[in-house]
């Protein structure tokens, strides 16, 4: 059905659109990825902290955000915030939605990592007089991170793919390529094929990074 020329037509004619859209995807991914890692780790700290209010907040946050479909989170942010007269660009709204959602998952992965550290470590840290934050930062988290490289990598890859939801909320990322090109009369299959290849190109370095971290942090 499709000739070779048809397969290459979208990328050959429309590569500026592909580049532009994927660049927005990369920006969404990098910024909300860093934000989710920071906020997710902070949430994990809250969930294991000795302060009940923080624990309750962390638990509530994770359970609400983790169990709400991402599209709903997007709706809440992109259409709900303006009702409260909080107005940012739709790009910023997308960053908020993606980070808020992903950090709930990162939190749980990091918490699992913390639980994998033998309790004796925390007890020893307390015994030598470290405070809770010192225990967490100097003893527990470095060991926890080592354990959570594979699950966190998976979450980041999921985040990368989740960025496509922003297409429905006025952010022109890779998820919009198809609607743009199908309006111009391109067949759906070749258009999407190049989107898939674009995502593969982005995911492969992430996998490489995961392997690098795993090797670097391996316990001899």
Footprint of another protein (CB under 8 A)? 1, 69, 71-73, 75-76, 79-84, 90, 167-170, 172, 176-189
Give the separation between CA 45 and CA 133, rounded to whole angstroms. Answer: 9
CA nearest neighbour of 144 among 175, 170, 108, 172? 108
Q: Which two tokens stand for residue 61?
A: 């946050």
Asked whether the beta carbons of 177 and 21 are under 8 A apart, the reply is yes
In whole angstroms, the minimum distance from the beta carbon of 22 to another protein comes to 15
Q: Identify which of residues 22 and 37 has a Cβ nearer to another protein in the complex.
A: 22
CA nearest neighbour of 105 among 73, 62, 161, 149? 62
In whole angstroms, the minimum distance from the beta carbon of 82 to another protein comes to 6
In whole angstroms, the minimum distance from the beta carbon of 15 to another protein comes to 17
Q: Identify which of residues 75 and 213 has a Cβ nearer to another protein in the complex.
A: 75
Give the separation between CA 217 and CA 220, rounded to whole angstroms. Answer: 9
Q: Identify which of residues 189 and 217 has a Cβ nearer to another protein in the complex.
A: 189
Q: Identify which of residues 73 and 122 has a Cβ nearer to another protein in the complex.
A: 73
In whole angstroms, the minimum distance from the beta carbon of 178 to another protein comes to 6
Helices 141-162 and 4-48 cross at an angle (nearest 10°) of: 140
Residue 173 DSSP class: S
């Amino acid at each position: 059905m499709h000739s070779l020329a048809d397969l290459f037509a979208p990328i050959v004619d429309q590569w500026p659109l592909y580049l532009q859209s994927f660049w927005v995807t990369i920006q969404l991914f990098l910024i909300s990825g860093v934000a989710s890692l920071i906020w997710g780790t902070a949430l994990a700290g809250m969930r294991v902290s000795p302060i009940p209010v923080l624990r309750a907040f962390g638990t509530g946050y994770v359970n609400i955000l983790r169990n709400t479909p991402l599209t709903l989170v997007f709706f809440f942010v992109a259409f709900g915030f303006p009702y409260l007269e909080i107005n940012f660009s739709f790009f910023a709204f997308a960053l908020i939605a993606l980070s808020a959602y992903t950090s709930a998952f990162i939190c749980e992965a990091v918490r699992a990592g913390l639980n994998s550290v033998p309790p004796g470590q925390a007890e020893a840290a307390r015994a030598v007089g470290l405070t809770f934050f010192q225990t967490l930062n100097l003893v527990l988290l470095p060991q926890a991170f080592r354990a959570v490289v594979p699950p966190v990598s998976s979450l980041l890859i999921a985040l990368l793919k989740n960025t496509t939801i922003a297409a429905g909320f006025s952010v022109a990322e890779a998820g919009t390529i198809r609607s743009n090109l199908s309006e111009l009369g391109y067949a759906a299959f070749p258009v999407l094929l190049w989107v898939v290849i674009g995502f593969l190109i982005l995911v492969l370095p992430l996998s490489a990074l995961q392997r690098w971290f795993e090797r670097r942090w391996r316990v001899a």
